[in-house]
Structure 1
Amino acid sequence: MSRYLNRFTLLAFVVVLSSCVGGQLGKVTSQPEKGMVVSAYPDASKVGLEILKKGGNAVDAAVAVQFALAVVYPNAGNIGGGGFMVYRSAKGEIAALDFREKAPGLASRDMFLDSAGNPIKDKSLFGHLACGVPGSVAGMAEAHRKFGRLSWQQVLEPAISLAENGFIITEKEADDLNRHSQEFAKYNPAGTVFVSNGGWKQGDRLVQKDLAETLKRIGELGAAGFYEGETADKIVAEMQHGGGLISKEDLKNYHAVWRTPITGIYKGYKIITMPPTSSGGIALLQLLHSVENYPVARYGFNSDSTIQLLTEAERRVYADRATYLGDPDFFKVPQRELLEHGYSVARMKSMSFSKATPSSEIKAGDITVKESNQTTHFSIVDQYGNAVSITTTLNGSFGSKVVVQGAGFFLNNEMDDFSVKPGSPNMYGLVGGEANAIAPGKRMLSSMTPTIIEKDGKLFMVVGTPGGSTIMTSVFQTILNVIEFNKSMQAAVSAKRVHHQWLPDTIYSETGALDSLTKIKLQQKGYPIKEWGASGRVDAILKTKWGYYQGGADPRGDDTAMGW
């Protein structure tokens, strides 16, 4: 069967099921009304749907999917990473949960610089020193404590079963594991189940006994089963073995934080998204504010005028990101000023459709301050009308490449998301400033943009994506594809995307996103264009005016939508 959904029509669509451990799900309606799960891997989507069918709500399903992804999608799904959740209840109540990783207590501002003050290549990317204190388990425990309906053990059981009994890997998963096998061997000299002597093949079964035992401890003890006791001992032993910094105190003192969601209006649609430590929510609303006064629908999808408008908005927003955004517990983020509609409108006045504005001429806006591609996202709506949007990550693919010996899970390399040296780019080319400098206990800045949208006070869309620096622009374009260009959810997700991030001063275009004439027009105006591979993996849900759900599962991966 197909590993992902083909295009949906507006009035009907077919949910495609991939082969799953544990048998078939049974008949799934072509127009789901009770709920939907869209995630990066078919087994994880199946787990979430089964939780919904047992009477669980969207948060129960989200917790189950998060832990399932840690098993079946180890290059981004995780318990050794962190992320963000945006929640909307059936009554319209909203919440945002920050379970982003933190710098260890022994971290220091210049820990990745040489004696001359220059960044040491790869030091913040690979190995034990690159690891931040994980937040995913604390985040899931806190979300479940506040909103869960089923028992903690019930939502953990599917992941435990997948780890203990194994699951069948897809072709993409086999390729990912094989591609990184030498790194796994280098950073895990004692060996790891993620390396296969003969190489992984589609259809192989991956069994993770150590991870199953770790998940059992979490199932029995909650967050304490990870941040204290045997698992904590194993994490600290791994740190000591490889020269890392995470201590027992760091683990025990970690807490997820509830924050006030950012909200804004775009042409009558209410946008509910993530505040700092994510830069994504502020950036998304700035982007929408920047283009709102322009006739985007008339310009047309991926026309030269549309691409030019998006590019000029993006270069201004990313310049602000580099200067003004960081952990609000350490730095006063000028959130109100950045989100003033007039601020973004004024920033666009220097744009001219006759020529490009060089990024060298774009600085952060005048505000007085008294700043991976291997992430994963999933969107869930339940039968009660609650919605959850979660983006979670290890940062790079398989994070730091370090597997905690005896515990069976990868640790993140999120320390690279700090400004290792203000003004120097991270692994995604993003430039940061003093606001995002390394400090003990500080959360590193993120681009993750989990988002929920309302129309006329009712749920309209749940959306998000992985993609490092491309996250905000991928979410931005997906929203425009639906609202401005009237695309179905699947068509909006599948559509080819472009990206600009201020520095480097280049439009990055997925192959086939721009036709030859559009490229010529943009290049004549001074826009360098570079084609690259897949950009983001958006997983989204749209609620139609007829009351059923359209899923958008990104065909760039094994992403799968399942509804009932």
Structure 2
Amino acid sequence: MLATALMLAGCTTPDPDGSPRSGETGSAGNGGSSAPPEPGQDDSASSSTPSDAGTPEPSGSLDQYGVSAAHPLAVDAGMDLLVDGGNAVDAAVGTAFAVAVVEPFASGIGGGGSAILAAPGMDATGYDYREVVAQDGNIPASGTGVPGFVAGLADIHAEHGELDWAEVLQPAIDLAEEGFPVSDFLAQRLRADFGPSSIEGLEHYHSASGEPLSAGDTLVQDELAETMTTLADQGPEAFYDGPLASELSEVDGLDADSLAAYESEEVAPVSGEFGDYEVVSAAPPLPGAALVQQLQLSEALGIAEHEPGSAGYVNRMSEAWLAAEESVHRFFGDPDFVDVPVDALTDAGQNAQRADQLTLEAEGVSANSRSANSTSGGGVSSVHSAGAQAAQQPVTAGNTTHLTVVDSEGLTVSMTNTLTSFWGGSESEHVGGFFLNNQLSRFATEESESNQPEPGRKSVSWSAPSMVLDSEQRPVLGLGSPGGHQIPNILTPVLVAWGLQGASLQEAVDTPRYHLQDGVLAVEQEPSAELTRLIDARGWSVQPTTREQAIFGSVQALEIDYDTGHLTGAADSRREADVEIADADADSGAGNGEE
């Protein structure tokens, strides 16, 4: 039954193709790695345990260090911490708190997140500090769950950081206390979707005339600075059973016992072969295994031979996405409560077989050969038909924020944090200068038998901090993106271009993105005549998007070249992200955790 169900997840019908991409092959052109590593995941994510390898001793492996994050001021905060002798974890934690100040709509103290860490000589490990259902099992109308941001970052720092906790938080405190110029994107979010209702009654988000702050105005967040100062002085315990907990426990969906009981988790990330590499991503209930499946199906379908934006490219990307999305809906849930078949979903051989079946059916060779799939809920085209026949709703912008940090020892952090919806939705509260999350709403929007609310349980969501490892298990690329439901379709084209088509990192980030949802294909550019014929044949409708709508996220990525000791970054112009890379100073120890 499991094999049948998994095959059903990919049973849709490809159609017209474009011409192969001239002069390109399926071999990877980046990172200097050779044969792919052997997969090594357990069959269920819940049975996985993290490595005890710990942070490696400094080896002087790189000549540079860098930070890629959602806002230039947050990048500055992380770089300053590296210059002051911190390592990648110090910089990532400091950057995350700084992002919480300059992007209050995206992430912060009232939310949660997940991260992956790896380095030469250190096995990749993951941290899950996402929000959970309170101990009474109550799902409030706001969707607010017990926040994990503070606990998760504190645990990551305690295990792997070098600088004092208070020193790491100081750049964010300074930003909140002294203020910063409102960016164009923040000004837009203050006026869009949940922005107006979320900031209602909060004077510091408004000008003297009562209008939301405009680009260039200064945003000062005194209350947030006070909260962060309390965390710096008293530690994370202040949030969960100290002075901050008393106010939080008055919020519907939170209580003192649930706050005191919260613990972040160190978990083994999922992984799978892709091209000449191994892709590592977030464990369930996050969609890392589905991202790996989408990549492997895309590769097996021959996507490397098709120019991004061509009919053949979009056709294969969409087929792989529909299969991966169905896997999430069918199998994913909190691994502390359900078994998720991670091994089956990330096995390159099994996904190649599924891709072969898709190709055979597309060519009409065996269109009726798998009628047994009807025992799992439909015929061979049920997944695709469901997407085409569902009520067509527009694709909307997805929240979250991502950051990637690499220090001069090669320690790499890929971290995605979120409030879930922008501003935590329309009903989440503002407490202590920060907005609370609406993460528990995902039990309804991603409802399935495997994703049901219970006390202490985490919901399925779409954050996917990821890394690419070479044949020596060293990180050669860290990446992730905001974007909600679109995140797998944001990361897959970047990895296909970089890992299979020999594109530079900037070229890969600039690759056009597509997202198919309920028969609606969201696009960044006008479809070609060839792609239009595919869209018509599929019965899809087209949704043109603009950068201002923030549909397709913003990839924050850093690439490592161990031969040269240099890093490469890429600026994603879809939002206002920034990246900075600097030369390591052997005398001062900048960027390598030495002082």
TM-score tier (shorter): 0.7 to 0.9
Report which structure shows greater RCO (CA 8 Å, sep ≥6). Answer: 2
Q: What secondary structure does 1:412 align onto?
A: coil
- Give 1:486's aligned residue: 502
- Structure 1 residue corresponding to 2:114, chosen from 84, 103, 122: 84
- Give 2:524's aligned residue: 510
TM-score (normalizing by structure 2): 0.78
- Give 2:270's aligned residue: 262
Q: C-alpha separation between the residues in 2 aligned to 1:299 and 1:492?
A: 14
Contact 2:127–2:264 at 8 Å: present in 1 too?
yes
Q: What secondary structure does 1:292 align onto?
A: helix
Q: What secondary structure does 1:448 align onto?
A: coil
Asked if 1:50 corresponds to 2:50, the answer is no
Q: Which amino acid aligns with 2:137?
A: A
* Shift, 1:455, TM fit: 2.3
Q: What secondary structure does 1:389 align onto?
A: strand
For residues 88-487 of structure 1, the aligned pairs below 5 Å read: 88-108=118-138, 123=141, 129-179=142-192, 180-184=194-198, 191-196=202-207, 197-237=210-250, 239=251, 244-279=252-287, 281-348=288-355, 349-351=357-359, 352-353=361-362, 357=381, 359=383, 373-401=398-426, 407-418=432-443, 420=444, 426=445, 431-457=446-472, 458-487=474-503
Q: Which amino acid aligns with 1:81?
A: G
* Shift, 1:491, TM fit: 2.1
Q: C-alpha separation between the residues in 2 aligned to 1:341 and 1:468?
A: 26
- Give 1:547's aligned residue: 565
Asked if 1:59 corresponds to 2:74, the answer is no
Contact 2:182–2:215 at 8 Å: present in 1 too?
yes
Deviations 1:40-99 (A, max 9, x none): 111101101111111111110010011111111101131110111000023242110000
Q: C-alpha separation between the residues in 2 aligned to 1:82 and 1:396?
A: 12
Contact 1:184–1:192 at 8 Å: present in 2 too?
no
Q: Which amino acid aligns with 1:182?
A: P
Q: C-alpha separation between the residues in 2 aligned to 1:198 and 1:528?
A: 37
Q: Which amino acid aligns with 2:176?
A: A
Q: C-alpha separation between the residues in 1 aligned to 2:116 and 2:187?
A: 32
* Shift, 1:520, TM fit: 2.1
Deviations 1:255-301 (A, max 9, x none): 1000011122112201121111212x101111122123343232222
Q: What secondary structure does 1:78 align onto?
A: coil
Q: C-alpha separation between the residues in 1 aligned to 2:301 and 2:196?
A: 50
Contact 1:67–1:78 at 8 Å: present in 2 too?
yes
Gaps of 5+ in 1: 1-9, 12-31, 113-122, 124-128, 364-371, 421-425
Gaps of 5+ in 2: 1-28, 31-61, 365-379, 388-396, 583-595
Q: C-alpha separation between the residues in 2 aligned to 1:375 and 1:406?
A: 19
Q: C-alpha separation between the residues in 1 aligned to 2:81 and 2:529?
A: 47
Q: Which amino acid aligns with 2:522?
A: Y
- Give 2:373's aligned residue: none
- Give 1:21's aligned residue: none
Q: Which amino acid aligns with 1:142?
A: D
Call closer, same or farther: CA 1:204–1:476 in 2, change over 3 Å. Answer: same
Contact 1:401–1:411 at 8 Å: present in 2 too?
no
Deviations 1:464-495 (A, max 9, x none): 01111111121111101112232221221122
* Shift, 1:360, TM fit: 5.0
Contact 2:119–2:475 at 8 Å: present in 1 too?
no
Deviations 1:104-141 (A, max 9, x none): 22335xx58xxxxxxxxxx4xxxxx3211100000000
Q: C-alpha separation between the residues in 2 aligned to 1:486 and 1:38?
A: 22
- Give 1:4's aligned residue: none
- Structure 2 residue corresponding to 1:38, chosen from 42, 45, 68: 68
* Shift, 1:185, TM fit: 5.0
Deviations 1:363-387 (A, max 9, x none): 9xxxxxxxx6110001110111100
Q: C-alpha separation between the residues in 2 aligned to 1:41 and 1:217?
A: 24
Contact 2:248–2:431 at 8 Å: present in 1 too?
no
Contact 1:402–1:411 at 8 Å: present in 2 too?
no
Q: C-alpha separation between the residues in 2 aligned to 1:105 and 1:192?
A: 34
Q: Which moved more, 1:40-49 or 1:331-340?
A: 331-340
Q: C-alpha separation between the residues in 1 aligned to 2:471 and 2:205?
A: 48
* Shift, 1:221, TM fit: 1.8
Q: C-alpha separation between the residues in 1 aligned to 2:205 and 2:199?
A: 9
Q: C-alpha separation between the residues in 2 aligned to 1:353 and 1:143?
A: 47
- Give 2:8's aligned residue: none
* Shift, 1:342, TM fit: 3.4
Call closer, same or farther: CA 1:50–1:318 in 2, change over 3 Å. Answer: same
Q: C-alpha separation between the residues in 1 aligned to 2:130 and 2:154?
A: 14
Q: C-alpha separation between the residues in 2 aligned to 1:292 and 1:156?
A: 42
Call closer, same or farther: CA 1:46–1:174 in 2, change over 3 Å. Answer: same
Contact 1:475–1:538 at 8 Å: present in 2 too?
yes
Deviations 1:152-177 (A, max 9, x none): 11101111111111111112212212
Q: C-alpha separation between the residues in 1 aligned to 2:244 and 2:203?
A: 17
Q: Which amino acid aligns with 2:129?
A: F
* Shift, 1:229, TM fit: 1.9
Q: Which moved more, 1:536-545 or 1:445-454?
A: 536-545
Deviations 1:332-385 (A, max 9, x none): 21222222333323333134556995635579xxxxxxxx61100011101111
* Shift, 1:529, TM fit: 3.4
Contact 1:285–1:339 at 8 Å: present in 2 too?
yes
What is the aligned-residue RMSD (CA, Å)? 2.4
Call closer, same or farther: CA 1:185–1:160 in 2, change over 3 Å. Answer: closer
Call closer, same or farther: CA 1:402–1:210 in 2, change over 3 Å. Answer: farther
Contact 2:143–2:437 at 8 Å: present in 1 too?
yes
- Structure 2 residue corresponding to 1:556, chosen from 574, 577, 582: 574
Contact 1:90–1:387 at 8 Å: present in 2 too?
no
Contact 1:131–1:414 at 8 Å: present in 2 too?
yes
Q: What secondary structure does 2:568 align onto?
A: strand
Deviations 1:486-545 (A, max 9, x none): 2221221122201125xx133322234x32332224423544433334412111112245
Contact 1:321–1:432 at 8 Å: present in 2 too?
no
Contact 1:214–1:408 at 8 Å: present in 2 too?
yes
* Shift, 1:546, TM fit: 3.5
- Give 1:538's aligned residue: 555
* Shift, 1:246, TM fit: 0.5
- Give 1:3's aligned residue: none
Call closer, same or farther: CA 1:509–1:358 in 2, change over 3 Å. Answer: farther
TM-score (normalizing by structure 1): 0.82
Call closer, same or farther: CA 1:338–1:298 in 2, change over 3 Å. Answer: closer
Q: Which amino acid aligns with 1:454?
A: L
Q: C-alpha separation between the residues in 2 aligned to 1:403 and 1:213?
A: 21
| Identical-pair percentage | 29
Contact 1:184–1:195 at 8 Å: present in 2 too?
no
